[in-house]
Amino acid sequence: MDYNFQFSELWPYTNLIVDGLLWTIALTLITTILGCLLGTLGAAARAGRNKLLKHLVGAYVELIRNTPFIVQLFFIFFGLPSIGIKLTAWEAGLLAMVINLGAYSTEIIRAGIEATPKGQLEAARTLGLSRVQTFIRVVLPPALQTIYPALTSQCIIVMLGSAVLSQISVQELTFAANFIQSRNFLSFEVYLVVALLYLALAVLMRQLFKVVHYYAFPNLRARK
Amino acid sequence: MPLVNIDNVHKYYGDNHVLKGIDLRIDAGEVVSIIGRSGSGKSTLLRCINGLETYSEGGIIVDQMEVTDDDSQIRKLSKSVGMVFQHFNLFPHLTVGQNITLAPKLVRKLSAEEAAETAREVLQKVGLQDKFDSFPGELSGGQQQRVAIARSLAMRPKVLLCDEITSALDPELVGEVLKVLETLATEGMTLILVTHEMNFARDIGDRVIFMHQGKVWESGEAKAVFANPQTPELQTFINAVL
Ligand SMILES: Nc1ncnc2c1ncn2[C@@H]1O[C@H](COP(=O)(O)OP(=O)(O)OP(=O)(O)O)[C@@H](O)[C@H]1O
Ligand SMILES: [Mg+2]
């Protein structure tokens, strides 16, 4: 192997990489919050009494989970303008990510809700709580505790999936990598560095989720 | 007018005729124990009283409210009828204090301070005033059940339904829960208990209902029922459990 590694050639592009990284972080942060919110509403609808809503959400979940993310993205960015909905690249990208995470987290959170012991519902009913109160105060918090690891993983998958947004020229991390590579042809160096940055982001996210977990669920800290 | 009026109640699970015409009148302040073999319909009857189960025939009136499975009716009933479960059913993510104040705040519309005040008072009653900020998972089974009783009491019910509330406890923890019930009984709380604690039923209870095959087979003053069972079924049951 006589390839001459030239990592130092990347220095001039530091700004681009940092900008890309910040875009990726921003997209991920907003997506995580909105996507999990959407997932919670979706799961509530799936658990609710409204048949129509239940089936609509079911169809949404199946549609998203059984089509490629890149097709969803292209549909939103290239397809929707045909019916008059024009979005900028990053708006389309964000929307695609939120819709995607929303579908997956609907399924994940629903599983947590279904694991609610019957006794919890009976206690809530006996105490006179309404259905909405029971859902928000009694069912949801333990459900989120139960599925927290799965939700964490899904959010990380969506973060990694944001690389696809480079295809519609959202200037996130992978877009920056592609751009640099097209200038200096140092594919090995560029993609290795970017891969390590994604890895670092994923590790960081996992840690952040742990911190949130610590403060959100104090009962799991308590010991006998 | 009795506090609880059960009139010819029938209940089916599919083809299974579980309650076969139950008639029962319970006055305010009475302590009534329901005993009987497994599957005789004790839990079902208790759960019909607060609308957790529907019944197919007859009528139940509690505190002048008809028991139906209508949601708003159940919410109204919850202010008069409390229930304590075999497996406590405390909310694991909430502290003891939050468990107790939740319904008074949401349903009785008490302010946070009023609810906390109520919580401290009912915790005092079950002897756990120092556990306000603990989580259920940090408590023993007996303590959890006492918190569950406190949580029910915070709604100021007129009658408390208890379904085998000591059955899931280690034997050494049963006493502390029975003691709380005894205190409530002496304070005049109306109690309807499904129980396997025959000594408690005999010594603390006013009245005993023996259920058999979905019917009130025999009933009467607590001590008399145990001393002079009138039917062979009750005789057999008493021999088996005492
Ligand atoms: N949810 C249900 N679905 C179908 N059948 C039920 C249900 N709950 C109870 N049953 C049946 O109803 C009958 C009465 O049950 P119930 O739980 O009231 O008895 P129990 O007297 O409380 O018994 P145990 O002492 O075991 O608690 C039994 O035959 C039981 O199998
Ligand atoms: Mg039972």
Write the ipTM.
0.94
Chain segment B205-227, per-residue pLDDT in tens? 999 999 999 999 999 999 999 99
What pLDDT shows up at residue B189? 96
| Orientation angle between helical segments A187-216 and A173-184, nearest 10 degrees | 170
Closest in B50, B78, B93 to A217, CB measured: B93
Burial B170-196 (b: 16+ CB within 10 A, else e): eeebbebbbebbeebbeeebbbbbbbe
According to DSSP, the β-strands at B16-26 and B4-13 are antiparallel
What are the two backbone dihedrals, phi and then psi, of residue B107, each rounded to the nearest 5 degrees?
-100, -45
Measured in angstroms, the CA of B80 and the nearest CA of chain A are apart by: 10
Q: How many CA atoms lie within 13 A of A86 on its CB side?
A: 1
With a cut of 50, which residues of chain A have pLDDT below it? 224
The rounded distance, in Å, linking the Cα atoms of B143 and B127 is 9
pTM of the model: 0.92
Which site among A121, A122, A125, A126 would you substitute to test the B interface, given the most B Cβ atoms closer than 10 Å to its Cβ? A126
Are the Cβ atoms of A222 and B135 closer than 8 angstroms?
A: yes
Given CATH 3.30.1600.10, say whether it is the number of domain B1-80+158-242. no
The rounded distance, in Å, linking the Cα atoms of A182 and A186 is 8
Q: How many CA atoms lie within 13 A of A43 on its CB side?
A: 27
**In chain A, where are the structural domains located?**
13-220
Residues of chain B positioned with their CB less than 8 A from the CB of A122: 52, 83, 85, 89
Chain segment B58-81, per-residue pLDDT in tens? 999 999 999 988 888 888 999 999
What are the two backbone dihedrals, phi and then psi, of residue B3, each rounded to the nearest 5 degrees?
-65, -45
Chain segment B111-138, per-residue pLDDT in tens? 999 999 999 999 999 999 999 999 999 9
Look-up of token digits 């009283």: B49
Are the Cβ atoms of A122 and B52 closer than 8 angstroms?
A: yes
What pLDDT shows up at residue A7? 86
**What topology is assigned to A13-220 in CATH?**
MetI-like fold (1.10.3720)
The rounded distance, in Å, linking the Cα atoms of B159 and B61 is 12
Q: Which residue's alpha carbon is nearest to atom 22 within ligand 1?
A: B43
Contact of B168 with chain A, judged by CB distance below 8 Å, is answered with: no
Closest in A125, A145, A223 to B93, CB measured: A145
Q: Which residue's alpha carbon is nearest to atom 6 within ligand 1?
A: B13
Measuring CA to CA, which residue among B96, B98, B87, B92 is closest to residue A145? B92
Residues B125 and B136: beta-carbon distance below 8 Å: no
**In chain B, where are the structural domains located?**
1-80+158-242, 89-156
Atom index in ligand 1 nearest the CA of residue B53 equals 1
How far, CA to CA in Å, does B111 sit from each of A21, B80, B114? 48, 20, 5
The rounded distance, in Å, linking the Cα atoms of A175 and A180 is 9
Q: What is the mean pLDDT of residues B160-176?
A: 95
